[in-house]
Amino acid sequence: MSNPLLKTKGLPDFGSIKADHISDAVNQALKKLRAMLTKLEANKTASFSIAEDIEEIQESIHRLWSPVTHLNSVISTPELRHEHNKCLPMISEFGTEIAQSEKLWALFSELEKQIDDTQVTERMLIFHALREFRLAGVGLTKNDKNKFKQLAKTLVQRQADFEQNLMDATDAFKHHEDDISALKGIPETVIFRAEEQAKKEGKTGWLLTLDHPTYQAIMSHAENEKLRKLYYKAWVTRASDQGPYAGKWNNREILEEIVRLRYESAKILGFKSYADLSLATKMASSTEEVLNFLQELADKSRPVAQTELEELEAFANRKLNVWDVPYYSEKLRQSRFSLSDDELRPFFPLPGVIAGLFDVANKLFEIKIHPQDNVETWHPDVIYYEIFSNQGSLIGGFYTDLYARPNKRGGAWMDECLVKCSLRGKSQKPVAHLVCNFSPPSGDDPALLTHDEVVTLFHEFGHTLHHLLTEVSYPSLSGINGVPWDAVELPSQFLENFAWSPEILPLISGHYRTGKPLPADTLTRLNASRSFQAGLSMVRQLEFALFDFRLHAEYEPSRDSLVEKILKSVRTEVSVLKLPKFNRFANTFSHIFGGSYAAGYYSYKWAEVLAADAFSAFENSEIFDKQIAKKFKQHILATGGSREALDNFKNFRGRSPSLDPLLRQNGILVGDENSS
């Protein structure tokens, strides 16, 4: 029987892939690809075909490994996890071998001289490749090369360990409740699911898990303060020395090691810090520029956040603990706008939201999206869609996996399944994974979303469109590839704005039983609530961004752990909430310790500036202005990493980015200051 992971055409056979396929596929593929690499290195003269060969090698690795990493995130099992973790260092090591090849470096350096300025995409491909050679230590001594390779290998493994600990800690927590009065205020869909979970495990009453939808529902709606505190503590102490599983799956030593490994990698390459290394591939030019950007936002936002907290405590008529804030915020929102999640949920059934989202994409970018049957998936809830131009030509496809369940990583994300590739007669359409963790349907009713979850879906679909609507045929520059990390969130945060638009909300809403549209007054109140507590939300994100960036900028091995010191400093400077001593936020910060946002979490705010400015072009015209949408598609979505991100934005907007649209969007009053 052939190994499904070695399939070279078409969609992955997700239903056929087993854990015991992984090692065999990786070993076979690496043996073949190393032979190809050796042959390439034997070339005496440079030609662009060598660059195309490297593209093919890297695409082969992606095609093999992408299904493995994806399955480990969405249906993790002990067997799959073991094989993933065993082979991950092998994949990392091979990538380092390519990037540390002095022979390839010399060939690409010669090739750079041959490519003229008219070959813009090809020149950018060579530029990116040479940068990757340098950042992988190609010019290092043999000893330092080996050390760097080992650091990279260990780092990917420890990041995987961090993520797995967090998943295990999240899945382990369950709260059994026999008294229905203790669950007062919690949405019926969550209570129904808890009842079903209890029955499944042979218990009476209700069994509440720690998936994100349940956590959010309890924090925002549970009248029982004791339950809110229980859930808050369970959430912020996951994988730490505190909380219900204190000491089990503790991520502290792992995260400290991750920061050390990154610092050592940066120093070997000649950088002052990992933050400086991180910026080598981003729009921001220096650590000072990033810190000044974050500080400017903090200076403008913190007074607003402080006022919002004072208003909230006046409304609650008492000082609030941090686990009280979401609950009273929801109450104040209801009081101020007569708006609640319970009121909105019935109008946002998932099937209707998706249909409306696809309609928005069609009106903006002239595409059509259709579900496809008879496609192998990894779970019965997964749906595969194909996306076509209005002329009927196939553009690509994407899978949706939208419901929370055990053994699935929390949060929401888009990931690449297949990357657009057109090389030497091979033509591969782009395919994406769109993953969320919404509450699943209850009984015969569809999944009902909060408006925040609608915004999340739009966000991830923005990433999906960025991946799918690319017109770049080289995989390393296609879609989100080659795009600076502080610009990659632009399309996703741009599309979020449409989920708030008065013109769009009727398209994506309708009562799940009657089909009646969202009432006009409700729509008005919802739109008015957009900037509600925007200051508190802003300083929370700035706290995360400053902690991440300063930790990676200030770390030195001779100093004691900086985690608590920097967190305390940042919170004193930015936050308006007093957090309890048991809070172990860093142990759960998977974006930077398990994912790709290290020294880059600021990118969310950086790109949000770009996105708000981009959306203001539509606000100043018409929401479906075809000419503006065409320019956005041409200069932002289609270009991938083939052009400089700032040039792309200027080509779309006709000028450099401005900070003002974001601050106006958040209800934070400023003068005429601009920022890029």
Q: Is 273 within 8 Å of 260 (Cβ atoms)?
A: no
Euclidean distance between CA atoms 347 and 448, whole angstroms: 8
Write out the DSSP string of 125-179: HHHHHHHHHHHTTTTS-HHHHHHHHHHHHHHHHHHHHHHHHHHHHHHH-EEEE--
Euclidean distance between CA atoms 479 and 494, whole angstroms: 16
**Residue 661 CA: distances (Å) to CA of 120, 625, 640:** 32, 19, 25
Please list, in sequence order, all residues whose beta carbon lies within 8 angstroms of the beta carbon of residue 199, skipping any fewer than 6 positions away. Answer: none
Distance of CA 81 to the CA centre of its chain: 21
Euclidean distance between CA atoms 371 and 397, whole angstroms: 9
- Residue holding tokens 């004791």? 226
Euclidean distance between CA atoms 275 and 175, whole angstroms: 40
Torsion angle in degrees (nearest 10) through CA of 219, 220, 221, 222: 20
Buried b (16+ CB within 10 A) or exposed e, 256-280: bebbbbbbbbbebbebebbbbbbbe
Euclidean distance between CA atoms 576 and 392, whole angstroms: 53
Buried b (16+ CB within 10 A) or exposed e, 144-174: ebebbbebbbbbbbbbbbbbbbbbbbbbebb
DSSP SS3 for 396 = strand
Phi, psi angles (nearest 5°) of residue 403: -110, 145
Q: Is 436 within 8 Å of 460 (Cβ atoms)?
A: yes
Number of C-beta neighbours around residue 394 at 10 A = 10
Please list, in sequence order, all residues whose beta carbon lies within 8 angstroms of the beta carbon of residue 453, skipping any fewer than 6 positions away. Answer: 213, 348, 436, 438
| Ramachandran bin of 296, using left for φ above 0, alpha for ψ from -120 to 50, beta for the remaining angles | alpha
**Residue 286 CA: distances (Å) to CA of 259, 275, 280, 595, 599:** 20, 9, 9, 22, 12
Q: How many CA atoms lie within 13 A of 144 on its CB side?
A: 14
Task: Please report the sign of the dihedral spanned by the C-alpha atoms of residue 494, residue 495, residue 499, residue 505.
Answer: positive
Euclidean distance between CA atoms 423 and 414, whole angstroms: 25
Euclidean distance between CA atoms 320 and 214, whole angstroms: 22
DSSP SS3 for 415 = strand
DSSP SS3 for 395 = strand
Strand pairing report for 431-438 and 413-418: antiparallel
How many residues make up the chain in this entry? 676
Rg over CA atoms, the chain: 25
Catalytic one of 195, 460, 489, 608: 460
Euclidean distance between CA atoms 142 and 174, whole angstroms: 51
Catalytic-residue membership of 503: no
Which positions are catalytic?
A: 460
